[in-house]
Structure 1
């Protein structure tokens, strides 16, 4: 029974996070990128505040903690959410999901720069190079049909932003005594405020109400951003980061399939091959002894570094994505 419940949680998370790019694409049929992201963040923040209320979790009071949350809110929520939305105005939702899966590669690059990883091992370097090769295969700049565009680069930049955010959060937030629900709610509230400031940049365009896109944004904010957090937290608490990281391998598959089946996006064999290569590179970065990881990082960071390909932190802080 316990194993069945775990599998159901993994499947639900993969569907919620993998479908987020699908909902973004639908939502853009009604909202501008800024409007969509603001709605998503407000809905996600509201859901997380409800969870805080149910868990009787109080928001942090330390000013320094709020400063760290502001940095995390920008790089983990406001910036990447907006970049993905902008990217999806020209890029297929399935491709966006595949590019999102490169996040652990950016974590691997950011960690040594921030002093949270002692060295780049040969296996990690090999995984990084393989993953970058997969990105190159996806973009295929040598072909006229390649995907190298400003929209695709925006999506890749969003994944890089996640990578930096995860390392930053692992260094400055993971040791906090505050509830993960409270940290995530505070982070999402701050990100919502940042998007309010961005409203002059495309946030006041006329909105023509349509049922489909409106429902898509509701699902994106409440389900893929709010409820998914609770499921991820439960999975981490009961099964650990290894089980949660399985979701990362399923996410791009879900996004590609949803885009192909419901949006008519083309299943490009080169892109699929690139996705396999990227995920293979991510897997290579994890082929190391647990003792070595524990020796290199504090426990909370050792459990999280490179353990997630979803664009969501493997620890229970504010989810992404996308």
Structure 2
């Protein structure tokens, strides 16, 4: 059965006439590896920029600014591609839900979480997204089937979550609360991703179009909520250069340039290869946090992260489509589409 034209940068989508619906048999490594590593570095370092941003900004204000920067970036890309925003009210209604669960709430939760935990730990928690996607897809949206292999992968993954939390050391305190906030952000994606697959995946709009619309909706949501909760956002002129640079990098680089790089990686290397960037994101998050911020983690956190990634790999082992790519710091959900045979939706 033929794929429908896509909602994102996954195979089956078309953006400005570029067909990404093929997987090269032997793509030269040098043609896609630099972009692959660059994408992992961009998405993995996003947690560093959040940490820098929340040092001066309320998490809601940080999210508002970064989403606005991302929206402007994608609108420019949209204009260059001579594409347009969706016009159907039904699409905008679903994007309202996806923008809240896939952008506004999780981005803010990561900001709150990183006020309490290390940036590298937030990057580790981001990798748990696929473990939430699968049970939601099976139990709530009924778009997938639970096999023995997937159940084993889920069990391993959640065992890894407990190891990362270090539950044997006790529950409570600001650090534990911060970890729960980061996991809550990943859980939001776990709901938003299968929701998008259920209600928006059949759209004929390009990934750039849906992503730009999603960010515009999220920006409107945050523009209403942020002043009510955190007061008026500070003027950019009152922020330090480091924070301004972090906001612009999170928005423009993390959504605009990263989106273009992701499309190129899929076109050159194929969806399955390109989506394995999932496994490098927490690695870069840990490296950047350790080198730039001199952060330290306890032994059980990287060990738990490895168990989580093993669980993700096991649960995805029988599928031919791409592996799940945790979306939190990778721009809006619409930049990624599930491309599956009968496996877990990609995040």
* CA–CA separation in structure 1 for the residues paired with 2:205 and 2:242: 38
1:64-213 → structure 2 map (5 Å cutoff)? 64-112=90-138, 113-117=140-144, 119-143=145-169, 149-199=176-226, 200-204=228-232, 208-213=238-243
User: Aligned to 1:219, which of 246, 249, 261?
Assistant: 249
User: Aligned to 1:270, which of 296, 300, 311?
Assistant: 300
Change (3 A) 1:2 1:153: same
**Structure 1 residue 18: Cα displacement:** 0.3
**Structure 1 residue 233: Cα displacement:** 2.1
1:29 paired residue number: 55
SS at match of 2:324: coil
Q: What's the TM-score once normalised by structure 1's chain length?
A: 0.89
* CA–CA separation in structure 1 for the residues paired with 2:49 and 2:101: 21
Unaligned runs of 5+ in 1: 291-302
* CA–CA separation in structure 2 for the residues paired with 1:44 and 1:116: 30
* CA–CA separation in structure 2 for the residues paired with 1:20 and 1:313: 8
Q: Deviations over 1:225-249 (max 9, x none)?
A: 2211121122223333212221110
SS at match of 2:85: coil
SS at match of 1:21: helix
The number of residue pairs the alignment matches comes to 306
1:297 paired residue number: none
Per mean C-alpha deviation after superposition, the further-off stretch among 204-213 and 99-108 is 204-213
Q: CA RMSD in A?
A: 2.3
**Structure 1 residue 314: Cα displacement:** 11
1:56 paired residue number: 82
Change (3 A) 1:316 1:29: closer
* CA–CA separation in structure 2 for the residues paired with 1:2 and 1:74: 39
1:239 paired residue number: 269
Unaligned runs of 5+ in 2: 1-26, 337-347
1:294 paired residue number: none
Change (3 A) 1:278 1:262: same
Q: What's the TM-score once normalised by structure 2's chain length?
A: 0.83
SS at match of 1:19: helix
* CA–CA separation in structure 2 for the residues paired with 1:5 and 1:315: 26
2:260 paired residue number: 230
- Deviating 4+ runs (over 3 angstroms): 144-148, 205-208, 309-316
Q: Deviations over 1:100-152 (max 9, x none)?
A: 000010111110120111x2101100000000000000111221599862211
Change (3 A) 1:90 1:234: same
* CA–CA separation in structure 1 for the residues paired with 2:333 and 2:306: 27
